[in-house]
Amino acid sequence: MASPKLLLIIIFSTFYFLSYADNIPPSNPASISNICKSTPYPTFCRSVLPKDNSTANVYDYGRFSVRRSLSAARKFLSLIEKNLRHSKDLTITAVRALEDCRFLAGLNMDFLKTSFQTVNGTSKILPTLEAEDVQTMLSAILTNTQTCLDGLQATAATWSVRNGLSAPLANDTRLFSVSLALFTRGWVPKKKKLPPHPNKRQLAFTNGKLPLKMSQQNRAIYETVSRRKLLQSDDDDQVLVNDIVIVSQDGNSNFTTINEAVAAAPNNTDGTNGYFLIYVTAGLYEEYVSIAKNKKYLMMIGDGINQTIITGNHSFVDGWTTFNSSTFAVVGEGFVAVNITFRNTAGAIKHQAVAVRNGADLSTFYSCSFEGYQDTLYTHSLRQFYRECDIYGTVDFVFGNAAVVFQNCNLYPRRPLDKQFNAITAQGRTDPNQNTGISIQRCTIRAADDLAASNVSFRTYLGRPWKEFSRTIYMQTYMDSSIHVDGWIAWNGDFALNTSYYAEYNNTGPGSNMTGRVTWPAIQSINVTEAANFNVDKFLLGDDWLPQTGVPYTSAVL
């Protein structure tokens, strides 16, 4: 996260959840006043929706709002381009922040176009899977906008205000929030119901066959790599792979760098014919890897943690935004990584320094290691799953606003700078309708060797509220004595202590004792039914897309 992590949030009451929205069917005509009561910004909502129409309903207003959101995103992208054309007059940090905004605005355009196609095509509650896809995209649009704003404020606050970017961002945030609220009200089912039979994504990947066009050499490589490292132990089905390339530093392979292999991957595949597999042999790869949005269903397998290592050292102190400080960044849908170490070696003294930034929908990391200090793993947006991974860091070392589940992972708080404390999570949910949060299941929290051996007492907390509706859940996780008795720590005064959601369920270990926990309204006491909402099956709808990856997972740990 950018430092200082400033916020542009309009505080509002959450009583609207109990208002009009739950009482009138979305297909019934309704006034703008009543429609807007079900959004976080009623006054703004009334100012942007068309004048009262006696026959208009939630669907009509929702379509208008999404269409207007697309127009606003297009205008903002043009404004960014205009400012970048005068980049010679800007600092390098300002240019980098603008480049982040351009990248994120482009993603928003894509998400809004897809969302509008859906809302324009129907006026009824959608099937769960389709509704979840659009709600996820609309949630990510808000996240992208907030990320742009954070970067501008942290690196060039005076400049950004002077050039008129903060005001459009604030208005866009409100508009996107209204669109998300109306979509949630009109198209999202109140209860998630998965189809009883495998859907098209599952059927494409669970037939246990390899494409006939695969060469015998690649077939042999696939058999060796996949059976040893990817397949679930109780399932003999093979992951469907379309093609394989090998990266090694000895020159006896297809490529010597990972970026070359990524560039060779086909563009905009839908996964039907399987993954493009990049096998990265053991070695230290000093390169910054970025997997673009058009590189979909790419699978990257290494030779193991601390064997295949991707490393870099970009940091906030050295002039990078938090967003673009990452050693490894991915936004291509359906990405899978296995047996790789991702490292940022900038060190604690350089503050924000990301090892991996993940904004890839339906992405999976299995048996990987993430090593850094502050802001190690940026689970930025969309839907993500991590299994049997190691994560090392100090301040906010798992952060972002994805819908993300960690299962059977190891979380290692390290020794921070003197007078610092550790916070494992900093979740960035800014809107109550976003379907995002961090769910940590059956993991182990244990002090890293440098922290355990320290003669100085450093406090380690489970998390803190980065944004107003921060949401994090720990369940069935072992917590060693490094976890402070308070459990959670405030961000700034009483910010978000009334609106966040923090829960612990059935954890073990000396750090799991909840007797001395802080008593904010954000701290939730939940039962097994409530905790189950954050399982893979309900929170990620993971049974729909994880089987195709071959990565082991537990659909419902409770």
Residue 557's pLDDT is 84
**pLDDT confidence of 210, banded at 50, 70, 90?**
very low
Least confident of 29-33, 305-309, 439-443: 29-33
**pLDDT confidence of 212, banded at 50, 70, 90?**
very low
Tokens of 494: 């009483």
In this predicted model, which residue has the larger pLDDT, 1 or 357? Answer: 357
Over residues 350-361, mean pLDDT: 98
In this predicted model, which residue has the larger pLDDT, 350 or 11? Answer: 350
Of the candidates 316, 314, 395, which has an alpha carbon nearest to the alpha carbon of residue 2? Answer: 316
Cis peptide before 4 (omega within 30 of 0): yes
Distances (CA, A) of 514 to 32, 120, 280: 46, 48, 44
Tell me: the pLDDT tens digits for 149-178? 999 888 765 666 667 888 899 999 999 999
Residue 100's pLDDT is 96
Tell me: the pLDDT tens digits for 252-278? 889 999 999 999 999 999 988 889 999
Residue 220's pLDDT is 64
Residue 317 has pLDDT above 60, yes or no: yes
Over residues 283-300, mean pLDDT: 97
Residue 191's pLDDT is 83
Q: Which residue reads 């996240």 in tokens?
A: 143
CB 404 within 8 A of CB 429: no
Residue 101's pLDDT is 95
Q: How many angstroms separate the CA atoms of 442 and 328, rounded?
A: 26
Number of helical (H) and strand (E) elements in the chain, helices listed first: 11, 26
Distances (CA, A) of 231 to 8, 30, 550: 45, 52, 5
Q: How many angstroms separate the CA atoms of 365 and 542, rounded?
A: 14
Over residues 546-557, mean pLDDT: 91
Tokens of 7: 């916020």
Q: How many angstroms separate the CA atoms of 142 and 311, rounded?
A: 30
Residue 390's pLDDT is 98
Residue 195 has pLDDT above 70, yes or no: no
Residue 23 has pLDDT above 90, yes or no: no
Tell me: the pLDDT tens digits for 389-398? 999 999 999 9
Residue 470's pLDDT is 98
Quick one: 527 exposed, middle or buried, by C-beta within 10 A (0-12, 13-18, 19+)? exposed
> What is the DSSP annotation of 26-49?
TTS---HHHHHTTSS-HHHHHHHS
CA angle 459, 464, 469 (to 5 degrees): 170
Over residues 269-292, mean pLDDT: 94
Residue 298's pLDDT is 97
Q: How many angstroms separate the CA atoms of 148 and 153, rounded?
A: 9
**pLDDT confidence of 88, banded at 50, 70, 90?**
confident
Least confident of 78-92, 163-177, 406-420: 78-92
Residue 512 has pLDDT above 50, yes or no: yes
Over residues 186-213, mean pLDDT: 56
β-sheet with 363-366: strand ranges across? 241-247, 275-280, 298-302, 336-338, 363-366, 383-387, 403-407, 437-441, 471-475, 501-505, 523-524
Residue 90's pLDDT is 85
Q: Which residue reads 């689970």 in tokens?
A: 379
Mind telling me the catalytic residues? Answer: 375, 396
CA angle 450, 454, 460 (to 5 degrees): 80
Residue 365's pLDDT is 97
The secondary structure of residue 239, as a DSSP letter, is P
Residue 227 has pLDDT above 60, yes or no: no
CB 61 within 8 A of CB 32: yes
Residue 229's pLDDT is 53
Residue 230's pLDDT is 55
Query: In 163-273, which ranges are continuous DSSP H helix?
Result: 166-187, 200-205, 216-229, 258-264
**pLDDT confidence of 79, banded at 50, 70, 90?**
very high
Most distant CA pair in the chain, distance: 72
Q: How many angstroms separate the CA atoms of 314 and 340, rounded?
A: 19
pLDDT exceeding 70 applies to what percent of the chain? Answer: 86
Q: Reduce the secondary structure of 521-534 to three states and give it as a string.
A: CCEECCCHHHHHCC
Least confident of 153-157, 283-287, 320-324, 514-518: 153-157
Distances (CA, A) of 59 to 28, 38, 186, 192: 9, 13, 6, 20
Over residues 111-119, mean pLDDT: 97
Residue 12 has pLDDT above 70, yes or no: no
Residue 200 has pLDDT above 60, yes or no: no
Mean pLDDT of the chain: 88
